[in-house]
Amino acid sequence: MKTRLKGNALIGQSGGPTVVINQSLVGAVQEALRHPEIRRIYGAVHGIQGTLGQDFIDLKAEKPSTLELVRHTPSAALGSVRKKPSEAECEEIFKVFRAHDIRYFFYIGGNDSAETASIIARLAEKNGYELRVCHLPKTIDNDLLVTDHCPGYGSAARFVALALMGDNLDNRALKGIKIDVIMGRHAGFLTAAAGLGRRDEDDGPHLIYVPEVPFSIDSFLSDVDENMKKHGRCIAAVSEGIQDAQKRPVLQAIGGQGEKDSHGNVALSGTGALGDFLAQQVRDVLGVSRVRADTFGYLQRSFPTVVSDIDAREAREAAVYGVRQMTKGGSSSASVAIRRLGRGKKKSGYASECFLTPLETVAKNTRGLDPGFIAPSGKDITADFVKYALPLVGKLPEMGRLRRKPVPKKSL
Amino acid sequence: MKTRLKGNALIGQSGGPTVVINQSLVGAVQEALRHPEIRRIYGAVHGIQGTLGQDFIDLKAEKPSTLELVRHTPSAALGSVRKKPSEAECEEIFKVFRAHDIRYFFYIGGNDSAETASIIARLAEKNGYELRVCHLPKTIDNDLLVTDHCPGYGSAARFVALALMGDNLDNRALKGIKIDVIMGRHAGFLTAAAGLGRRDEDDGPHLIYVPEVPFSIDSFLSDVDENMKKHGRCIAAVSEGIQDAQKRPVLQAIGGQGEKDSHGNVALSGTGALGDFLAQQVRDVLGVSRVRADTFGYLQRSFPTVVSDIDAREAREAAVYGVRQMTKGGSSSASVAIRRLGRGKKKSGYASECFLTPLETVAKNTRGLDPGFIAPSGKDITADFVKYALPLVGKLPEMGRLRRKPVPKKSL
């Protein structure tokens, strides 16, 4: 058995919150409490930002009942951040780690967070400072490499699937054209979830546009027109990140807001501009009167009570697994990933396990929808996507529908 | 005992759907099935529109299991409509009623629907046709006169309260300014529900703007600025129907979309224009960088699984009560209203009962928030509103919060 690395642990949360990111936080804390070589358990307030300012809190001072409640609470209880530290800031971070004897660093986030974790791990190695850095995956975009899927996705996808189930019924009751704009910069996983609740042939969304397929406004208008003729109504689920053939975000092309974060990403959420633009195009060109656009915005990622049980469990398990692996010392730095298992003995037909992957394999790039998840038409998902995603969102409620036996008309 | 009026019943749904409007539909059908004098039970597809076209379905032909499932399904299972029939159309409706021996008419909707019901009832009386017309209340706006509150409101208010609870945590994790635009043309009840989930002194929404209070962009900007200075963040809940001092909707003043329904109402929902306008004002004038706007749109009224139990029960009970009263013949036409009872023996401290009110008392006007529900500042709600609304939305989940005991900083 290897010598145990004694010292303090630091946990941080980064990037966009999810409804299960606190499952990872509390999972890491509760597991760390079982390992005596981890002396103190600190939380970094607002991630790397708080680390730079030594803005740490003592997570051992939290009551177990508080931790249990936080575990089921949406958004990042430690505070989050969108920041990529500079070289100089990374040097500063090491001074802080050394001063506080931080030997375990758990960073919960997406690929930007994995990159931050990777930079810190490399600096530690270069400086001969023994540090175990573990990236815990979290993103509603589901765009991390290596892993089958990401904690946070299942619950956000559940929100989107439920929203479209309701919207389909709303649009059937008061017909017209409805455009729903869903989060997702490069990856269409969340937008694709719009189709998970469909049951009947005429159920919406009738069109699904993801960033992986070049978007053409002319095709969009003719697609909508075709569905209006077929169903007398049309719901289109559109990713906020849809791009034209030149890979330029449509939102940017129409002059949407231009805020940028420190990773250079233009803000796509928090504005209704894309939906309003598409709705106006439909009004102007197709001349349809009842056209509405909803932009789901931040509701998708932090709505209390809309949680996938499997997602919540996996978010916790990934963190527990990460702490166990780091204390074992099998690897000095890694990212936790999830592997889907064969059907096994579980009735649900779904099982998964965690494994470690080098930080570098997750940090650099992201992935989009598998080509097999996108219908050949480029405006819908496939049965393979439903098979992939449905276990992650959990059981969706059954919707009732009247058979509507017509009453014979009378002559007046 | 009076002679029982024998004949057929017609049920219709009107106006914007809710998640519990099918509770009223199925409640009416299930109760009507118990009264042998009601021979056939027809559903009008898309309300008055379907009535004009004799587009009726046979609700007795629906399986009991289908009805039970529909009861728990959001949106209007019969289809809905926004239409105020003309005089000529009302004459047409009578030909249809006579031809189908319709003697009971149940119309589920808001005050526009009550007005339609009222017109039809008057025409029946004038023509000496025995008809019992019952308006069953339904509106997420909660703006009907006479009744304490309206079926549909509690569940939509629950959605808004939960959304803001999540958004408060999201905004605490990644600070900035957040503007949430909530449905409500003239009445601020739904927007006011944004404040129902607050617990701690610094919880958002920090500002609540309702249509009942004239909106000034300058005051808004200084309110936001003040909260940024106090909390380092700010969430403003804004009704889509906010009006300037000249009673002109702000959305209209800034050139929002101009669709109108047959009641002459300009469409305020289905566009992000108001939120985007306010966000841009904040950026331009206050120079804050992270400003986001979400417009909740149609999610508020048809999201499956977000349902208030009390709201669902009352939506059903109002319909059952309406059918019983009409078959009793105590009144030939009326609207069902809800009265709140004293605490009684119920532990929850909430109980209610139904009563009848003349159609005319509900049809003409609407009400807004009681003055006692709006804080003197004009930008928040009062404890009295919370006391009024909280029982209607049901128990809200408890959110966890770390106590955040600081770790002493070290010299580097």
Shortest CA distance from B170: residue in chain A: A75
**Contact present, B397 and A305 (Cβ < 8 Å):** yes
B9 touches chain A (CB under 8 A): no
End-to-end Cα, chain B, rounded Å: 92
- Output the pLDDT for position B344: 55
What are all long-range contacts of B340-344, with beta carbons under 8 Å and residues at least 24 apart? B340/B148, B340/B149
Tell me, yes or no, whether A355 lies in a domain: yes
| Separation between Cα atoms, residue A108 and residue A343, nearest integer Å | 29
Contact B400 A22 (CB under 8 A): yes
A chain contacts of residue B96, beta-carbon cutoff 8 Å: 410, 412
Residues in B 311-350 with any Cβ partner in A closer than 8 A: none
Distances (CA, A) of B247 to A99, B80, B218, B233, B238: 61, 30, 17, 30, 16
Mean pLDDT of B130-150: 97
Tell me, yes or no, whether A269 lies in a domain: yes
Q: What are phi and psi of A310, to 5 degrees?
A: -65, -40
A11: helix, strand or coil: strand
Mutate to test the interface with A, among B158, B170, B177 (most CBs of A within 10 A): B170
| Separation between Cα atoms, residue A144 and residue A316, nearest integer Å | 18
A chain contacts of residue B295, beta-carbon cutoff 8 Å: 272, 294-295, 297
Shortest CA distance from A23: residue in chain B: B400
Tell me, yes or no, whether B1 lies in a domain: no
> If you write DSSP's letter for every residue of B51-99 in order, what string do you get?
HHTT-EEEGGGS-HHHHHHHHTS-S-TT--------HHHHHHHHHHHHH
Q: Are residues B171 and B273 in the same domain?
A: yes
Tell me, yes or no, whether A201 lies in a domain: yes
- Output the pLDDT for position B269: 72
Q: Are residues A221 and A183 in the same domain?
A: yes
Shortest CA distance from B276: residue in chain A: A271
Residues in A 234-273 with any Cβ partner in B closer than 8 A: 257, 259, 267, 269-273
Q: Are residues B322 and B296 in the same domain?
A: no
Contact B169 A74 (CB under 8 A): yes
Pairing of strands A38-44, B102-109: unpaired
| pLDDT tens for each residue of B45-83 | 999 999 999 999 999 999 999 999 999 999 999 999 998
* B206: confidence class by pLDDT, cuts 50, 70, 90: very high
Mutate to test the interface with A, among B168, B174, B198, B260 (most CBs of A within 10 A): B174
The pTM assigned to this predicted structure is 0.96
DSSP state of B337: E
Q: Are residues B176 and B103 in the same domain?
A: no
Q: What are phi and psi of B72, to 5 degrees?
A: -100, 15
Tell me, yes or no, whether A383 lies in a domain: yes
DSSP state of B202: T
Q: Are residues A110 and A170 in the same domain?
A: no
Residues in B 94-123 with any Cβ partner in A closer than 8 A: 95-96, 99-100
Contact A276 B275 (CB under 8 A): no
Of the candidates A232, A146, A227, A141, the one whose C-alpha atom is nearest the C-alpha of residue A192 is: A141
Q: Would you name the residues of B annotated as active-site residues? A: 141
A54 touches chain B (CB under 8 A): yes
Give every CB contact of residue A53 below 8 A, 6+ residues apart in sequence.
none
> If you write DSSP's letter for every residue of A50-108 in order, what string do you get?
HHHTT-EEEGGGS-HHHHHHHHTS-S-TT--------HHHHHHHHHHHHHTTEEEEEEE
A167: helix, strand or coil: helix
Tokens describing residue B87? 């005089």
Contact B292 A270 (CB under 8 A): yes
B82 touches chain A (CB under 8 A): yes
Residues in B 30-49 with any Cβ partner in A closer than 8 A: 40, 42-43, 45-46
Given its phi and psi angles, is residue A120 left (phi above 0), alpha (psi -120 to 50 degrees) or beta? alpha
Contact B17 A173 (CB under 8 A): yes
Which one of B17, B74, B271 has the shortest CB-CB distance to A272? Answer: B271
A70 touches chain B (CB under 8 A): yes
Q: What are phi and psi of A260, to 5 degrees?
A: -125, 145
The CATH number for A101's domain is 3.40.50.450
**Cis peptide leading into B391, omega within 30 of 0?**
no
B88 touches chain A (CB under 8 A): no
> What residues of chain A score a pLDDT lower than 70?
1-2, 256-266, 343-348
Q: Are residues B194 and B327 in the same domain?
A: no
Please compute, for residue B150, the number of CA atoms within 13 A of its CA located in the half-sphere on the CB side. Answer: 32
B166 touches chain A (CB under 8 A): yes
B69 touches chain A (CB under 8 A): yes
| pLDDT tens for each residue of A298-323 | 999 999 999 999 999 999 999 999 99
Element (H, E) at B338: strand B333-341
Q: Are residues B68 and B179 in the same domain?
A: no
| Separation between Cα atoms, residue B402 and residue A63, nearest integer Å | 9
Tell me, yes or no, whether A145 lies in a domain: yes
Tell me, yes or no, whether B332 lies in a domain: yes
The CATH number for B251's domain is 3.40.50.460
Distance from CA of A1 to the nearest CA of B (A): 33
Which one of A16, A56, A271 has the shortest CB-CB distance to B293? Answer: A271
| Separation between Cα atoms, residue B178 and residue B170, nearest integer Å | 10
DSSP state of A5: -
Tell me, yes or no, whether B399 lies in a domain: no
Tokens describing residue A369? 């929808």
Which is the catalytic residue, given A55, A58, A112, A141?
A141
Shortest CA distance from B82: residue in chain A: A174
A7: helix, strand or coil: strand
Q: Are residues A72 and A92 in the same domain?
A: yes
Separation of CA B193 from chain center: 12
| Separation between Cα atoms, residue A256 and residue B107, nearest integer Å | 44
Q: Are residues A34 and A127 in the same domain?
A: yes
DSSP state of B400: P
| pLDDT tens for each residue of B16-37 | 999 999 999 999 999 999 999 9
Distances (CA, A) of A255 to A245, A250, A386: 17, 9, 34
Mean pLDDT of B353-378: 96
B37: helix, strand or coil: coil
- Output the pLDDT for position A1: 46
Contact B57 A407 (CB under 8 A): yes
**Contact present, A257 and A271 (Cβ < 8 Å):** yes
Contact B293 A272 (CB under 8 A): yes
| Separation between Cα atoms, residue B107 and residue B84, nearest integer Å | 13
B chain contacts of residue A295, beta-carbon cutoff 8 Å: 272, 294-295, 297
Give every CB contact of residue A165 below 8 A, 6+ residues apart in sequence.
A197, A396, A397, A399, B304
pLDDT at B289 over 90: no
Contact A80 B17 (CB under 8 A): no
| Separation between Cα atoms, residue B257 and residue B266, nearest integer Å | 8
pLDDT at B255 over 80: no
Pairing of strands B291-295, B177-182: parallel
CA angle (B210, B196, B163) in 5-degree steps: 85
Contact A295 B291 (CB under 8 A): no
Number of structural domains in chain A: 2
B chain contacts of residue A172, beta-carbon cutoff 8 Å: 75, 79
A81 touches chain B (CB under 8 A): yes
**Contact present, A143 and A367 (Cβ < 8 Å):** yes
Give every CB contact of residue A381 below 8 A, 6+ residues apart in sequence.
A192, A195, A208, A373, A374, A375
Q: Are residues B374 and B345 in the same domain?
A: no
pLDDT at B410 over 50: yes
| pLDDT tens for each residue of B180-191 | 999 998 999 999
Q: Are residues B268 and B189 in the same domain?
A: yes
**Contact present, B352 and B195 (Cβ < 8 Å):** no
A275 touches chain B (CB under 8 A): yes
Element (H, E) at A33: none
Q: Is A141 designated active site?
A: yes
Contact B71 A400 (CB under 8 A): yes
A chain contacts of residue B13, beta-carbon cutoff 8 Å: 173
**Cis peptide leading into B205, omega within 30 of 0?**
yes
Q: Are residues B377 and B245 in the same domain?
A: yes
Q: What are phi and psi of B160, to 5 degrees?
A: -65, -45
Of the candidates B15, B71, B6, the one whose C-alpha atom is nearest the C-alpha of residue B46 is: B15
The residues that bridge with B355 in the sheet, in sequence order, are B337
Contact A75 B169 (CB under 8 A): yes
- Output the pLDDT for position A211: 97
Contact B305 A16 (CB under 8 A): no
Q: Which domain holds residue B355?
A: 7-151+306-363
- Alpha-helix runs per DSSP H in B268-308: 273-281, 299-302
Distance from CA of B403 to the nearest CA of A (A): 7
| Separation between Cα atoms, residue B346 and residue B313, nearest integer Å | 15
- Output the pLDDT for position A32: 98
The residues that bridge with A336 in the sheet, in sequence order, are A356
Contact B401 A95 (CB under 8 A): no
Distance from CA of B297 to the nearest CA of A (A): 6
